[in-house]
């Protein structure tokens, strides 16, 4: 869906569901996932439909992901950092996360 | 990086939002001697219009254009002013006593402000079409954010749809960056000209006129533009094609990415939660705070500047921020020397010229604001237009009672992506006005926070003794 216009940024290695994703300094979790071609970041609690980042400015809450064990973080507001572990969310939130 | 523990317990002025209004307000107030802190939830300042102004990887200045890069001056001014600027700071509460709840890297604090300037700007108007929740459908603003901040350009089959200045600007920026657009589906009704025409002379004299024409020519030379009156995103697990109605017939177009936009509206969540009185603006089809000439709201000591006060654009936002800041300084340090507000007001007036024309010309069609049937209205709770209409017909009088029936507006986005649609649908079904129907009652926290963040609030000895035996 998207490609990098200039790919000169410093590489930051994160994982999404255990798989390595090559992010860049300046990426947020949501844009790193978009750039890596990951087509959805969660499924909804109501019908289980897949959802992907929509607004990228912190208002739509579609990009909710688990970041380093903390659930329902807004991926578009969290800058990536080396070694960050991101997990996509499935359906209803699990208790304690 | 400023930590929550670095913050003072009180400031003369707390500015919320680091776009043009917030940056200009903080710079002016800090230079006049007010202890000033600016909170912004994004990784860097600039707001949406000047997103990533200090860090954008898009170095070819022609791509984003001069109107983007002017933001660098605002950011530099604010930085040099002595105001404390904190990014990654989420304001989740503001009450009428001006107690500001803020969270930074998982640590929360309550800060007392003598004055508050809310500069939370705008967000894109909901664009509820069938299939708009599918992966592969994004807001145009989202794509623009990814271009500005990360240098991401759409690849694959890309369709843009909707109307309004931002749609055309983004189209031009994508093309300049070497991206390709398969088509632009223009949803603006031609009949809008009837109401816009009377305001044309004002527009011709405004700075938008020549810029707008140039932009339209630039885009139309390279992309097929199709006037449509119906629009649908189709796919199973993600977008596969865009279906549209044009000139009486139905057409289909395969697509990987659909970018939607039909204008911007004030981001009202924090101001409403703080108790600020809002009113319906029929021309801009949105709620906006009721303000005096200095942008002071109905709550003492709280002002709303920038597009959050009603849409007027980025350069107008900065002037509004300055006017609100001057009022704050006059209230707290009357002896401080202030810039000539008459000059600021004149610049603001010039920036606001042509806006009425743009509002009428780009007014989104009723059918794209008031969907029918199975089209999802509330994305979070997956509530359809049919359900909202049916419930309104059953006797449900307003958005707040609607929550109890349908949960619409009760998901994590707190109505940001459905509020206006719900109000307009209820008004249409009950044959009344959006002003009469009103908006969701919003309460803090306006952004979700964890209990751990709340538990990190410092507790005074007296507070501890009040509950411990």
pLDDT tens, position by position, B126-144: 999 999 999 999 999 999 9
pLDDT attached to residue B356? 96
CA distance B447 to B59: 33
Give the pLDDT confidence of B82-124 residue by residue, as tens digits: 999 999 999 999 999 999 999 999 999 999 999 999 999 999 9
A56 part of contact set with chain B, CB < 8 Å: yes
- Smallest Cα–Cα separation from B270: which of B5, B53, B40, B48? B40
CATH topology assigned to domain B370-437: Arc Repressor Mutant, subunit A (1.10.10)
CB of B13 within 8 A of CB of B39?
no
CA distance B421 to B216: 29
- Chain A hits for B147, Cβ within 8 Å: 5
pLDDT band for position B200 (cuts 50, 70, 90): very high
Q: Identify the CATH class of B7-123+265-338.
A: alpha beta
Closest CA–CA distance from residue A21 to any residue of chain B (Å) = 15
Question: Do A56 and B238 count as a contact with CB atoms less than 8 A apart?
Answer: no
Nearest-10 Cα torsion for B290, B295, B299, B302: 140
- Chain B hits for A71, Cβ within 8 Å: none
Mean pLDDT over B212-235 rounds to 97
Q: DSSP string covering A1-64, please? A: -EEES---SPEEEEEETTEEEEEETT-BHHHHHHHTT---SEE-TTT--EE---SSSSSS-TTE
Mean pLDDT over B357-378 rounds to 98
pLDDT band for position B273 (cuts 50, 70, 90): very high
The yes-or-no verdict on residue A59 having pLDDT over 80 is yes
Would you call B333 helix, strand, or coil by DSSP?
A: coil
Residue with tokens 């705070």: B289
Partner residue facing B379 (CB), from A39, A53, A60: A60
A57 part of contact set with chain B, CB < 8 Å: yes
Partner residue facing A79 (CB), from B43, B135, B155: B43
CB of B141 within 8 A of CB of B166?
yes
What are B255's two structure tokens? Answer: 């697509």
CB of A75 within 8 A of CB of A30?
yes
Using left for φ > 0, alpha for ψ between -120 and 50, and beta otherwise, residue A79 falls in: beta
pLDDT band for position A94 (cuts 50, 70, 90): low
**From-to residues of CATH 3.50.50.60 in chain B:** 7-123+265-338, 126-262
pLDDT band for position A7 (cuts 50, 70, 90): confident
Mean pLDDT over A26-40 rounds to 96
Question: Do A52 and B138 count as a contact with CB atoms less than 8 A apart?
Answer: yes
The yes-or-no verdict on residue B469 having pLDDT over 80 is no
Question: Do B152 and A24 count as a contact with CB atoms less than 8 A apart?
Answer: no
Enumerate the β-bridge partners of residue B288: B279
Q: Identify the CATH class of B126-262.
A: alpha beta
Question: Do B145 and A57 count as a contact with CB atoms less than 8 A apart?
Answer: yes
A60 part of contact set with chain B, CB < 8 Å: yes
Mean pLDDT over A8-23 rounds to 93
Q: Which of A38, A57, A68, A74 best probes binding to B when mutated, by most B CB atoms within 10 angstroms?
A: A57
Mean pLDDT over B219-223 rounds to 98
- Smallest Cα–Cα separation from B75: which of B236, B314, B246, B298? B314
- Which pTM value belongs to this model? 0.97
CA distance B299 to B277: 8
pLDDT attached to residue B383? 98
Would you call B391 helix, strand, or coil by DSSP?
A: helix
pLDDT attached to residue B339? 87
CA distance B418 to A62: 13
CA distance B267 to B337: 32
pLDDT band for position B16 (cuts 50, 70, 90): very high
The one-character DSSP state at B35 is: -
A89 part of contact set with chain B, CB < 8 Å: no
**From-to residues of CATH 1.10.10 in chain B:** 370-437
Mean pLDDT over B364-379 rounds to 98
- Chain B hits for A50, Cβ within 8 Å: 135, 237-238
pLDDT attached to residue B463? 85
A39 part of contact set with chain B, CB < 8 Å: yes
Partner residue facing A6 (CB), from B57, B138, B142: B57
What are B449's two structure tokens? Answer: 């926070």
pLDDT attached to residue A78? 97
Mean pLDDT over B353-376 rounds to 97
- Residue B150 CB contacts under 8 Å (≥ 6 apart), including other chains: A4, A24, A26, A27, A28, A31, A35, B52, B57
Q: Which of B87, B146, B153 best probes binding to A when mutated, by most A CB atoms within 10 angstroms?
A: B146
pLDDT band for position A97 (cuts 50, 70, 90): low
- Smallest Cα–Cα separation from A40: which of B41, B31, B134? B134
A22 part of contact set with chain B, CB < 8 Å: no
Give the pLDDT confidence of B409-446 residue by residue, as tens digits: 999 999 999 999 999 999 999 999 999 999 999 999 99
- Mean pLDDT (chain B) is 96
Rounded to the nearest angstrom, the gap between the alpha carbon of residue B124 and the centroid of all alpha carbons in its chain is 6
Q: Dihedrals φ, ψ of B311, to 5°?
A: -70, 125
The yes-or-no verdict on residue B180 having pLDDT over 80 is yes
Closest CA–CA distance from residue A72 to any residue of chain B (Å) = 9
pLDDT attached to residue B467? 85
Closest CA–CA distance from residue A87 to any residue of chain B (Å) = 17
**Domain annotation for chain A: domains and CATH numbers:** 11-87 (3.10.20.440)
Residue with tokens 């809002």: B278
Q: What value of ipTM does the predicted structure carry?
A: 0.96
Mean pLDDT over B251-272 rounds to 98
Burial class of A43 by CB neighbour count within 10 A (0 to 12, 13 to 18, 19+): middle
What are A53's two structure tokens? Answer: 């980042």
CB of B61 within 8 A of CB of B69?
yes
pLDDT attached to residue B408? 96
CB of B99 within 8 A of CB of B301?
no
Partner residue facing B151 (CB), from A4, A28, A53: A4
Sign of torsion over alpha carbons B392, B412, A58, B303? positive
pLDDT attached to residue B4? 96
């Amino acid at each position: 869906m998207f490609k990098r216009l200039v790919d000169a940024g410093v590489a930051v290695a994160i994982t999404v569901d255990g798989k390595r994703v090559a992010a860049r300094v300046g990426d947020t979790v949501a844009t790193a996932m978009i750039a890596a071609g990951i087509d959805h970041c969660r499924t909804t609690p109501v019908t289980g439909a897949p959802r992907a980042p929509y607004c990228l400015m912190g208002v739509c809450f579609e990009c909710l992901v688990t970041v380093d064990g903390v659930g329902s973080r807004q991926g578009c507001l969290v800058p990536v950092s080396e070694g960050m572990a991101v997990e996509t969310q499935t359906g209803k939130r699990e208790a304690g996360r | 990086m400023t930590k929550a523990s670095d913050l003072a317990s009180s400031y003369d002025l707390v500015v919320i939002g680091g776009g043009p209004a917030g940056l200009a307000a903080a710079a002016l107030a800090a230079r006049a001697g007010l202890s000033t802190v600016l909170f912004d939830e994004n990784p860097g300042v600039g707001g949406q219009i000047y997103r990533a102004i200090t860090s954008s990887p898009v170095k070819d200045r022609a791509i984003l254009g001069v109107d983007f890069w002017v933001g660098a001056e605002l950011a530099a001014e604010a930085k040099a002013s002595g105001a404390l600027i904190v990014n990654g700071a989420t304001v989740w509460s503001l009450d009428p006593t001006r107690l500001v709840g803020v969270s930074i890297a998982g640590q929360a604090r309550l800060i007392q402000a003598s004055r508050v300037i809310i500069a939370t700007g705008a967000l894109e108007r909901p664009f509820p079409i069938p299939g708009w929740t599918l992966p592969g459908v994004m807001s145009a603003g989202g794509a623009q954010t990814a271009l500005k901040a990360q240098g991401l350009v759409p690849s694959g089959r890309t369709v843009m749809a909707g109307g309004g200045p931002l749609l055309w600007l983004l189209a031009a920026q994508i093309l300049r960056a070497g991206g390709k657009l398969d088509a632009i589906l223009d949803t603006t009704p031609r009949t809008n000209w009837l109401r816009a025409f009377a305001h044309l002379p004002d527009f011709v004299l405004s700075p938008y006129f020549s810029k707008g024409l140039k932009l339209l020519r630039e885009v139309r030379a390279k992309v097929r533009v199709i006037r449509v009156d119906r629009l649908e995103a189709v796919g199973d697990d993600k977008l596969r094609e865009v279906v549209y109605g044009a000139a009486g017939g139905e057409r289909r177009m395969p697509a990987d990415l659909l970018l939607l936009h039909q204008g911007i509206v004030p981001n009202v969540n924090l101001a409403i939660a703080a108790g600020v009185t809002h009113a319906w603006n029929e021309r801009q089809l949105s709620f906006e705070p009721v303000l005096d000439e200095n942008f002071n709201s109905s709550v003492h000591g709280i002002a709303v500047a920038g597009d959050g006060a009603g849409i007027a654009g980025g350069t107008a936002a900065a002037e509004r921020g300055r006017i609100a800041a001057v009022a704050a300084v006059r209230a707290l340090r009357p002896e401080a020397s202030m810039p000539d507000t008459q000059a600021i007001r004149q610049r603001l007036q010039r920036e606001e010229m042509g806006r009425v024309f743009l509002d009428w010309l780009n007014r989104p069609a009723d059918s794209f604001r008031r969907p029918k049937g199975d089209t999802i209205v509330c994305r979070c709770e997956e509530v359809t237009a049919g359900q909202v209409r049916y419930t309104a017909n059953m006797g449900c009088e307003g958005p707040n009672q609607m929550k109890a029936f349908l949960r619409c507006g009760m998901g994590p986005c707190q109505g940001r992506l459905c509020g206006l649609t719900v109000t307009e649908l209820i008004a249409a079904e009950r044959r009344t006005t959006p002003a009469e129907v009103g908006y969701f009652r919003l309460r803090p926290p306006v952004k979700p926070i964890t209990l751990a963040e709340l538990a990190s609030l410092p507790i005074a000895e007296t507070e501890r003794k009040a509950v411990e035996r």
